[in-house]
Amino acid sequence: MAEAAAATTNYEVDLGNLMAYDPSHHLAAASSSRGQLREECLRKGTELAQAVANALFALPATQDRDGPMVRLPPPTTRFPREKHVRIEPVPSLAYSL
């Protein structure tokens, strides 16, 4: 259901990370003023946040004593690590022997 709502607007919604992305959106040429750029970014950000909210409300909910709860699907977007995973073993230090 969440994918159907996102498909009509061409948004990629990743509920596992609670984010949305519009691959077809491009900013206007650099000649636009800073105010116009700010308004365009706010408008698009509002649309994407609404797409995430709509997809969340489309998920099946269960009742809890604190209110309705939904189980988020696993993330579909992988983020890079801050530090690379070391492939070779760490050499032992003289003071750790």
- Residue boundaries of the structural domains of the chain: 2-96
SS3 label, residue 63: strand
Helix (H) or strand (E) holding 49: helix 34-58
Q: Is the pTM of this model over 0.75?
A: no
Q: What pLDDT score does 62 carry?
A: 94
Find out whether 22 and 48 touch, Cβ atoms under 8 Å: yes
- DSSP secondary structure string, 12-23? EEETTTTEEE-T
Mean predicted confidence (pLDDT) in 69-81: 89
pLDDT of residue 7: 44
Q: Please, which residues have CB within 8 angstroms of residue 9's CB and are 6 or more apart in sequence? A: 22, 47, 51
- Bridge partners of residue 67, in order along the sequence: 64
